């Protein structure tokens, strides 16, 4: 009897079991896919902190797309911003508002550049696999959601290969992609968003005054001109395949406190403002002089909270 092997086998068996169960259990119909606009609105308003611009755009974009019976192209959202500001979190909210199984749905597919496409030398294999994967999944369910994380680290050739699926084609090889949703996540443009937020802060203006137009120009310039960014070398942008660029603002101390309180609530702990303040104080803020924004946003607060709540 080897407890390690047994645990592994049981673990793998359970995962496989869940996958098979999901595969046969979940179907591509309104029983499993039923957009709940109110739930998305409530989540964005109550669970997402400090992102009034992103929140508004996402709600409008997803509502508009999901209420259109015959969209002309798939919905393509590009979420930009500093680390830990809520880009994955919002993608999760979108998935939950559309699919009963949320992120666990077999119609939601997440790709992370460094994890799934780590070796540039294998780019041709990745390309054909990715294309087959997208085609196969949309063929079995037109309402598929694809999330591409670390888009700024993605090989431009790979971005190029998904372009046809984002375009205004009626059908490609007999498959229509018009009801699919693509979400791209990246940190590119994050610094220019931070600069705008800092300018407002230094001018003594309220953060809530920041509007999309204040961020749009610098965001698109930095995304275009960033030689490191996969976007730069592709024509994703100039072909207008991205429907909405969604900027995420850097988070301040008060937002981190809100994140800690939310985490306490999620763990059924007594809400303790002092502990929340303490956890937030322990994080690093930048720029060095003003210390306005959390360097890691709301990331890592789980483990910090453990430290304060465990004996």
Ligand X SMILES: Nc1ncnc2c1ncn2[C@@H]1O[C@H](COP(=O)(O)OP(=O)(O)OP(=O)(O)O)[C@@H](O)[C@H]1O
Positions in the binding site for ligand X (CB under 6 A): 47-51, 81, 83-89, 185, 187, 251, 259, 297-299
Contact 90, 48 (CB under 8 A): yes
The rounded distance, in Å, linking the Cα atoms of 59 and 39 is: 11
CB-based contact 53:247 (threshold 8 Å): yes
Least separation in angstroms between CB 46 and ligand X: 10
CA geometry: angle 83, 195, 76, nearest 5 deg:
55
Q: Is 81 annotated for ligand binding? A: yes
Is 83 assigned a ligand-binding role in the annotation?
yes
Q: Which of 63, 90, 62 is nearest to 247 (CA)?
A: 90
Instruction: Please state the closest distance from residue 298 (CB atom) to ligand X, in A.
Output: 3
- The distance of closest approach from Cβ of residue 16 to ligand X in the complex, given in angstroms and rounded to an integer, is 27
Smallest gap from Cβ 82 to ligand X, in A, equals 7
CA distances from 153 to 79, 113, 148, 187, 230 (A): 14, 6, 10, 10, 6
Q: Which is nearer to ligand X, 205 or 267 (CB)?
A: 267
Nearer CB in complex with ligand X: 169/200? 200
Smallest distance from ligand X to CB 84, Å? 5
Return all residues near 33 (Cβ < 8 A) that are at least 6 apart.
98, 99, 100, 107, 141, 143
Nearer to ligand X, 88 or 131 (CB): 88
Q: Rounded to 5 degrees, what are φ and ψ at 188?
A: -65, 140
CB closer to ligand X, 33 vs 44: 44
Residue 88 marked ligand-binding: yes
Q: How many residues does the chain have?
A: 311
Cα separation of 258 and 277, whole Å? 9
Residue 24: which H helix or E strand, with range?
helix 3-25
Q: Please give the structure tokens belonging to residue 67.
A: 């209420």
According to the annotation, is 112 in a ligand binding site?
Answer: no
- 85 annotated ligand binder: yes
Q: Which DSSP letter does residue 205 get?
A: -
Is 86 annotated in a binding site? The answer is yes
- In the complex with ligand X, which residue's Cβ is closer, 29 or 306? 306
Residue nearest to ligand X (CB): 86
Shortest CB 281 distance to ligand X, Å: 17
Nearer to ligand X, 54 or 75 (CB): 54
- How many other C-beta atoms are found inside a 10 Å radius of the C-beta of residue 158? 22
Annotated binding residues, written as ranges, equal: 81-88
Annotated binding residues for ATP, written as ranges, equal: 81-88
């Amino acid at each position: 009897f080897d407890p390690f092997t047994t645990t592994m086998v049981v673990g793998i068996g359970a995962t496989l079991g869940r996958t098979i169960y999901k595969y046969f259990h979940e179907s591509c119909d309104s029983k499993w896919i039923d957009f709940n606009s109110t739930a998305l609105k409530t989540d964005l308003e109550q669970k997402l902190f400090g992102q009034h611009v992103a929140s508004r755009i996402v709600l409008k974009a997803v509502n508009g797309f999901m209420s259109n019976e015959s969209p002309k192209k798939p919905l393509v959202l590009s979420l930009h911003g500093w680390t830990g500001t809520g880009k994955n979190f919002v993608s999760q909210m979108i998935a939950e508002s559309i699919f009963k199984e949320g992120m666990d749905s077999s119609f939601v597919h997440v790709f992370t550049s460094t994890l799934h496409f780590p070796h540039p030398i294998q780019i041709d294999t990745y390309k054909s696999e990715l294309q087959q994967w997208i085609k196969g999944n949309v063929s079995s369910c037109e309402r598929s959601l694809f999330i591409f994380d670390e888009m700024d680290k993605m090989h431009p050739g790979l971005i190029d290969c998904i372009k046809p699926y984002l375009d205004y084609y009626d059908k490609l090889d007999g498959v229509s992609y018009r009801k699919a949703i693509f979400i791209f996540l990246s940190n590119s443009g994050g610094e220019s968003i931070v600069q705008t937020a800092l300018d407002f802060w230094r001018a003594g203006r309220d953060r809530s005054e920041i509007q999309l137009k204040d961020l749009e120009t610098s965001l698109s310039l930095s995304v275009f001109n960033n030689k490191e960014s996969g976007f730069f070398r592709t024509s994703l942008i100039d072909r207008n395949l991205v429907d909405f660029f969604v900027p995420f603002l850097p988070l301040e101390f008060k937002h981190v406190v809100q994140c800690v309180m939310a985490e306490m609530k999620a763990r059924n702990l007594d809400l303790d403002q002092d502990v929340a303040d303490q956890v937030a104080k322990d994080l690093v803020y930048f720029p060095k002089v003003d210390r306005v924004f959390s360097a890691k946003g709301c990331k890592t607060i789980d483990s910090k909270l453990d430290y304060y709540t465990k004996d």
